[in-house]
């Protein structure tokens, strides 16, 4: 009772009337906002009458539709009337849609004669001595007493949102009738993050014009896609270790780009522990790490998270760079943060509900460059088999030759440089590489003498050459 009284007292504040006035302006609501008690009763009676008629009409229509293909209405009547109780989810949805249609057909009142209809929805997180429905019921009752609004759970005009988080609460007014969390994504994967969460993670990073932002573990690309649409003046780049995820991101991106004819960002196939990016070249990293449930495993996370923090410290700019990381595996993250304590400062940690899982969002700032980055992450062994974890396996050193090639001038094409890396040609002298050609279509060959050939082109002479270790 004590908690309910607090919730009810909060809704009585004057701010609500101001918010409702703004809502009215935005939604162009023409009806009666604050009716008298008499006006409320008359409107409610009218509403009940229209709903009764709409229900009868909707049920009759559904029965008619069902009868049509069979042709013998009486034989199917019993079965149909049973189904109209709305037992299954599909049937209920069908019935509601039909009722909605019938309601608007029957309702002949002018918009300015209608009394505001409302519902209260409670979103609750934490342990409380009341349920969400109890809270919505009591707050709804209080609103009805105060303003004489009509309760309507389906055909409401305004939805009051009551958000209870642990020991705090706030009210809001829903601006849309549908959640926007599925916006912009067409190809969903097993771990696709809600667009609303992506947006808020990006906001935590406070992107500025010209910032280079990466999501190194992008999955289906929900974070960079949301970012490139919301923060136009930043440049987004993303990648994933799984080719399927990279393809899904490309499909999502293609879908948006086909509508807008604009190029939004770049997608690469990479491993976050060995990013193909220069040192201190990135301003912000926003990513959703594998939780170790649907993606990866908690065991692998112990090593992976440390490697990720180390590699991100290399590519993110010192002093001004920041990283916003989301994970459910908070233990692995705490261990990784302790490991990389000299590189990252934890400035904020937020709790977040991801489909019922209590995850954490970590806001990190890149510290000043230390004299040397920490040594490689120690190897983690599988306890039983004694095998090395794939993620913790040692890097193999490959001796390679780096060729800098000069593109010969052909026709009107201007001269340009190209760089390629292949195995050390003193050991093995052949390699295949993709080079842009005048027609942009042909795979060029690096021959045994180190010359690169493209279709109908002169060989690329070697400009310089160096042996390097990768």
Residues within the interface to ligand SAM (CB under 6 A)? 189, 191-193, 216-220, 222-223, 240-242, 245, 271-273, 288, 290, 295-296
Count other C-beta atoms under 10 Å from residue 444's C-beta: 22
Given the DSSP bridges, would you call strands 344-354 and 357-366 parallel, antiparallel or unpaired?
antiparallel
Q: Which residue is nearest to ligand SAM (CB)?
A: 219
Q: How far is the CB of 192 from ligand SAM (least distance, A)?
A: 4
| Residues whose CB is less than 8 angstroms from the CB of residue 27 and which lie 6 or more positions away in sequence, other chains included | 157, 158
Q: Which of 296, 321 has the CB closer to ligand SAM?
A: 296
Considering the complex, state which of residue 101 and residue 271 has its C-beta at the smaller distance from ligand SAM: 271
Shortest distance, position 369 Cβ to ligand SAM, whole Å: 24
Q: Are 229 and 310 in contact (CB under 8 A)?
A: no
- The residue (of 98 and 245) whose beta carbon lies closer to ligand SAM is 245
Beta-strand runs (E) in 130-254: 150-151, 158-165, 168-173, 212-215, 235-240
Q: How far apart are CA 143 and CA 148, in angstroms?
A: 7
Q: How far apart are CA 157 and CA 123, in angstroms?
A: 19
Please, which residue, 160 or 213, has the CB nearer to ligand SAM? 213
| Minimum gap (Å) between residue 440 Cβ and ligand SAM | 29
* Least distance CB 213 / ligand SAM (angstroms): 14
As a whole number of angstroms, the distance between CA 97 and CA 155 comes to 11
DSSP 398-411: -EEEEEEEEPPP-T
Q: By C-beta, is 272 or 420 nearer to ligand SAM?
A: 272
Give the DSSP H or E segment for 354. Answer: strand 344-354
User: Using an 8 Å Cβ cutoff, are 223 and 284 in contact?
Assistant: no
In whole angstroms, what is the distance from residue 458 CA to residue 455 CA? 9
CB of 221 to ligand SAM, least distance (A): 7
Largest CA distance in the chain: 96
Q: How far apart are CA 216 and CA 273, in angstroms?
A: 9
- Least distance (Å) between residue 258 CB and ligand SAM: 20
Question: Which CB sits closer to ligand SAM, 211 or 288?
Answer: 288
Q: Quick check: 465 and 450 in contact, CB under 8 A?
A: yes
Shortest separation between residue 278's beta carbon and ligand SAM, angstroms: 18
Q: Which is nearer to ligand SAM, 162 or 223 (CB)?
A: 223
Q: Which is nearer to ligand SAM, 104 or 242 (CB)?
A: 242
CB of 215 to ligand SAM, least distance (A): 7
Among residues 95 and 214, whose Cβ is nearest to ligand SAM?
Answer: 214
Three-class SS state of 360: strand
Q: Comparing C-alpha atoms, which of 308, 378, 383, 373 is closest to residue 342?
A: 373
CB of 300 to ligand SAM, least distance (A): 8
């Amino acid at each position: 009772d004590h908690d309910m009284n607090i919730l009810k007292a909060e809704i009585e504040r004057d701010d609500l009337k101001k918010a409702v006035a703004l809502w009215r302006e935005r939604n162009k609501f023409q009806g009666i906002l604050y009716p008298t008690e008499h006006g409320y009763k008359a409107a409610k009676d009218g509403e009940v009458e229209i709903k009764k008629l709409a229900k009868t009409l909707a049920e009759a229509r559904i029965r008619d539709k069902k009868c049509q293909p069979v042709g013998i209405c009486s034989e199917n009547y019993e079965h149909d009337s049973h189904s109209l109780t709305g037992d299954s989810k599909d049937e209920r949805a069908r019935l509601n849609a039909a009722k909605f249609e019938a309601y608007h057909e029957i309702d002949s009142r002018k918009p300015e004669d209608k009394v505001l209809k409302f519902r209260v929805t409670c979103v609750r997180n934490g342990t409380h001595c009341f349920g969400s429905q109890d809270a919505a019921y009591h707050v709804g009752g209080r609103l009805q007493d105060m303003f004489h609004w009509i309760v309507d759970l389906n055909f409401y005009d305004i939805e009051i949102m009551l958000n209870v988080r642990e020991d705090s609460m706030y009210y809001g007014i829903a601006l849309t009738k549908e959640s926007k969390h599925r916006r912009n994504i067409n190809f969903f994967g097993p771990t696709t993050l809600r667009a609303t969460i992506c947006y808020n993670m990006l906001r935590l990073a406070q992107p500025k014009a010209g910032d280079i932002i990466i999501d190194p573990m992008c999955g289906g690309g929900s974070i960079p896609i949301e970012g490139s649409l919301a923060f136009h003046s930043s440049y987004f780049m993303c990648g994933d270790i799984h080719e399927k995820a990279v393809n899904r991101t490309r499909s999502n991106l293609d879908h948006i780009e086909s509508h807008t004819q604009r190029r939004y960002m770049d997608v690469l196939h990479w491993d976050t522990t060995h990013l193909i990016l220069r040192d201190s070249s990135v301003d912000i990293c926003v990513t959703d790490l594998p939780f170790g449930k649907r993606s990866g495993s908690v065991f692998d996370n112990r090593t992976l998270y440390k490697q990720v923090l180390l590699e991100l410290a290399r590519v993110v700019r010192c002093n001004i760079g920041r990283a916003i990381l989301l994970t459910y595996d908070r233990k692995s993250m705490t261990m990784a943060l302790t490991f990389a304590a000299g590189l990252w400062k934890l400035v904020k940690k937020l709790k977040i509900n991801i489909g019922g899982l209590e995850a954490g969002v970590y806001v990190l700032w890149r510290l000043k460059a230390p004299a040397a980055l920490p040594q490689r992450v120690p190897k983690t062994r599988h306890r039983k088999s004694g095998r090395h974890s794939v993620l913790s396996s040692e890097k193999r050193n490959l001796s390679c030759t780096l060729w800098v090639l000069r593109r010969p001038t052909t026709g009107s094409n201007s001269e340009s440089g190209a760089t390629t890396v292949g195995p050390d040609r003193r050991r093995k002298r052949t390699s295949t590489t993709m080079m842009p050609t005048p027609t942009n279509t042909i795979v060029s060959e690096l021959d045994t003498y180190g010359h690169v050939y493209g279709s109908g082109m002169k060989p690329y002479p070697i400009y310089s050459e160096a042996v390097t270790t990768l």
